[in-house]
Amino acid sequence: MEAKKVGIIGSGSWATAIAKIITDNHHSINWWVRQPANIDYFNKRHHNPHYLRNTYFDVSKINFFSEIKQVIEQSDILVIAVPSIHIEASLNGVDADLLKGKQIVSAVKGVLPKHNVLLHEYLYKAFNFPLAQYFTLLGPSHAEEVAAEQLSYLTFSGLDLKATELIAKYFETEYINTRVNNDVIGVQYAGVAKNIYALGAGIAHGLEYGDNFLSVFIANAANEMQQLLKSIMPQENSKAVNYDSSVYLGDLLVTCYSLHSRNRTFGNMIGKGYSVRAAELELNMVAEGYNASKCIVAINEKNKISLPIITAIYEILWEGHDPAAAFKQIESILV
């Protein structure tokens, strides 16, 4: 079978890590890098000027474009790896006909905050893009460890497992193990929720809670996340899902514990007394859990599942509740 052309939309740390994986696997890519000056830098220095700067590329395998439409036109598989807050602006001006026949792989770990929807829902509403052609790429993984070629696991989800396995093949290297499942909606919500819990883990660290509390906090977060996912998924589908597998529990654990986690880092600053705005400026990257907390609370207004941890984190970030007082309340409900 002839190899399909892969296009990458986004040029942040995760997009850069994905580009490394695919080109290390001897595939050429089309890459949308919005700023022409950054493309010039890439071609001269062979690395991203802003992210994962120690990751060098064979630029002969990369076709850079500053116009997103060109990447879409010349690619069969499109990997979207921009923060959820920027997706709508990134796809502005793209015609629905351009996306016909494409396969889209979401490497997004957030909800579009303006609409409170996942990427596949937005693509369907805005472009009539079918779920059957939509796939997800989730962890547990960190861009920094991928860049260092430390063994990482990626989980690909899609309705058609055979098509999902074919896409996963583009990402298999000596340092990447791939897994597949068909829980394309559930894994996305898990990717959203784990970022919120990682913010909470960071807040706890900033408040100087120890490892014992953190282990209890994460265990309860895993249980709460499972209840959330079951409330979203049809009953017959949720029974077949192994919520202890790497894309659910594993990704939650690494995002809560790892020093590479931007959500944990953001939460740590909140726990130490930073305002949300000050933490955003200090981090200088998007912490998806911030907007996600507001979105999940809004989405849950319909299902009304008890989400005390997510609710507490939302109240700290969006309603100005005191982190120390909020975590005193969390202490009382943990089991």
Q: How many CB atoms lie within 10 A of CB 15?
A: 24
Q: Can you give the pLDDT at residue 47?
A: 95
Q: Can you give the pLDDT at residue 287?
A: 83
Can you tell me whether residue 229 is helix, strand or coil? helix
> Do 36 and 159 belong to one domain?
yes
> Do 207 and 306 belong to one domain?
yes
> Do 310 and 254 belong to one domain?
yes
> Do 284 and 143 belong to one domain?
no
Q: Can you give the pLDDT at residue 193?
A: 96
Q: How far is CA 89 from the centre of its chain?
A: 18
Number of separate domains in the chain: 2
> Do 40 and 151 belong to one domain?
yes
Peptide bond before residue 130 is cis, with ω within 30 degrees of 0: no
Alpha carbon distance 209, 189 (integer Å): 27
User: Where does the chain show beta strands of DSSP type E?
Assistant: 6-9, 29-32, 62-65, 77-80, 103-106, 134-138, 152-157, 176-181
Is the residue at 1 inside a domain? Answer: no
Show which of 181, 206, 221 is a domain's final residue: 181
Task: Give the amino acid at 197.
Answer: Y
State the Cα angle at 285 between 54 and 134, rounded to 5°.
90
State the Cα angle at 43 between 41 and 47, rounded to 5°.
65
Alpha carbon distance 308, 305 (integer Å): 9
Q: Can you give the pLDDT at residue 285?
A: 74
Q: Can you give the pLDDT at residue 110?
A: 84
Q: Can you give the pLDDT at residue 115?
A: 87
Show which of 148, 181, 214 is a domain's final residue: 181
DSSP annotation of 209 reads -
What is the domain extent for residue 218? 186-333
Alpha carbon distance 57, 49 (integer Å): 12
Burial code (b: 16+ CB inside 10 Å, e: under 16) for 47-73 equals bbbebbeebebebeebbbbeebeebbe
> Do 298 and 206 belong to one domain?
yes
Per DSSP, the chain holds a count of helices (H) and strands (E) of: 16, 8
Residue 218 in contact with residue 277, Cβ under 8 Å? no
- pLDDT means per 10 residues, the chain with 335 residues, are 88 96 96 94 94 94 96 97 93 95 94 90 97 96 94 96 96 96 94 96 97 97 95 67 92 93 94 93 84 92 91 96 97 94
Residue 99 in contact with residue 69, Cβ under 8 Å? no
Q: Can you give the pLDDT at residue 177?
A: 96
Residue 323 in contact with residue 235, Cβ under 8 Å? no
- CATH code (residue 257): 1.10.1040.10
- CATH code (residue 44): 3.40.50.720
Residue 283 in contact with residue 265, Cβ under 8 Å? yes
Alpha carbon distance 11, 9 (integer Å): 7
Show which of 131, 163, 181 is a domain's final residue: 181
Could you tell me how many residues make up the chain?
335
Region of residue 58 (phi > 0: left; psi between -120 and 50: alpha; otherwise: beta)? beta
Q: Can you give the pLDDT at residue 237?
A: 59
